[in-house]
Structure 1
Amino acid sequence: MRRRGFRALVCAGVLTLAGCHRGPEVPRLTGTGSPYLRALWLPSVGPTPYDWRQLPGRVVLVSFFATWSFPSLAQLPTLEALQKERGAQGFQVVLVGLDLDGARTLAPFAEEYASLGIPVLVSDPALQQGQSAFGLIPALPASFLLDKEGQVAGAWQGMAGHAALSEAVQTLLRR
């Protein structure tokens, strides 16, 4: 588990798709999808429907954020635009809230930002402590782009620009 967490942390520091390569294969979990998709088996809050079983086979952008993080909030319009532009092509943005009081803060946030059309997930203690396939999240926002097989294909720490994200998503959608 530590090796995968370290790999995700290294990828999080890389700002270009080309710089984040796969390295050693992460073992697939039979019947449960990739470890990254499995880490998204979290409760959701707010009006946007979420079913983790619909993620396999899609390109997924997982954005870790907190409601108190200005850069996280400033990135929301970019994420909304990407979801609207590419959602029908097999793309899904998923927000994972790292607020320590969980649903108590994230539920009102999800209601307020319902127009984004992006599911908001509540992180669990294991994820908050870096004990998931994504490893420790060192800064917010942190975004991981998963390919159709659920493997990390790119990562951004801090705010990511629309053009860079859109190009990376489009490349994965074509595969």
Structure 2
Amino acid sequence: MGRALGVALVLALAGCHHAPQEPLPGQAATSPYLRALWLPAVGPAPWNWRTLPGKVVLVSFFASWSFPSLAQLPTLQALQKEHGAQGFQVVLVGLDLDGALTLAPFAEQYALEFPVLVSDTALQQGQSAFGLIPALPATFLLDRQGQVAGAWQGMAGHGALSEAVQALLKR
């Protein structure tokens, strides 16, 4: 009975996330940082990593159990609202070990207006362009070419993030 319930729960949650899309011919992301974001998404925000090239992207690694990660969510929401129309995108990458089981209800509960991605084992082990994430939250700001233009460990203030985003959007 317990195994059947577990299988049913996994199948139900499988319908709650957006699978990553294969790159179209000739449309592969050139940046290894953008390629690292080819992960499944959960929650209400639509996700298509192919829309990222040419945008300024703020990638925040977090865990649902990390108080500093939770405390930074209002800043990320505000930045998305303030700069989204100018070619800016916030992307949240969850490092919770149970993945979508925790992150899907989390994204729904907080009604996040940006994608919440489910990290894979390789990313959790530091085997991506972002390397090992030593503290949460860890935030990376990517320029329009998909290269790291800024990074913060721990909570980053709204003012510092907004200033960095504005500078990249003006380029």
In the superposition, the TM-score normalised over structure 2's length comes to 0.83
Distance (whole Å) between structure 2 residues aligned to residue 85 and residue 31 of structure 1: 29
Work out which of the residue numbers 122, 129, 132 in structure 1 matches 2:125.
Answer: 129
- Contact kept, 8 Å, 2:68 with 2:154, in 1: the verdict is yes
Deviation at 1:111, TM superposition (A): 0.6
In the superposition, the TM-score normalised over structure 1's length comes to 0.82
Larger RCO, structures 1/2 (Cα 8 Å, 6+ apart) = 1
Distance (whole Å) between structure 2 residues aligned to residue 110 and residue 123 of structure 1: 14
Compute the RMSD of aligned alpha carbons: 0.9
Residue 119 (structure 1) aligned with residue 115 (structure 2):
yes
Deviation at 1:33, TM superposition (A): 2.1
Work out which of the residue numbers 115, 137, 152 in structure 2 matches 1:141.
Answer: 137
Work out which of the residue numbers 149, 154, 157 in structure 1 matches 2:150.
Answer: 154
Residue 165 (structure 1) aligned with residue 161 (structure 2):
yes
Deviation at 1:47, TM superposition (A): 1.1
Return the letter of the residue paired with 1:149.
Q
1:6-155 equivalences under 5 Å are 31-114=28-111, 116-155=112-151
Of the structure 1 ranges 31-40 and 149-158, higher mean CA displacement relative to structure 2 is found in: 31-40
Deviation at 1:32, TM superposition (A): 2.6
Distance (whole Å) between structure 2 residues aligned to residue 130 and residue 49 of structure 1: 26
Aligned length: 145
Return the letter of the residue paired with 1:138.
P
The unaligned stretches of length 5 or more in structure 2 are 1-26
- State the SS of the aligned residue for 2:146: coil
Distance (whole Å) between structure 1 residues aligned to residue 28 and residue 45 of structure 2: 26
Deviation at 1:113, TM superposition (A): 1.3
Return the letter of the residue paired with 1:123.
S
Deviation at 1:118, TM superposition (A): 1.2
- State the SS of the aligned residue for 1:167: helix
Return the letter of the residue paired with 2:106.
F
1:76-107 CA-to-partner distances (Å, cap 9, x unmatched) read: 00000000000000000000000000000000
- Contact kept, 8 Å, 2:29 with 2:50, in 1: the verdict is no
Instruction: Specify the structure having the higher radius of gyration (Cα).
Output: 2
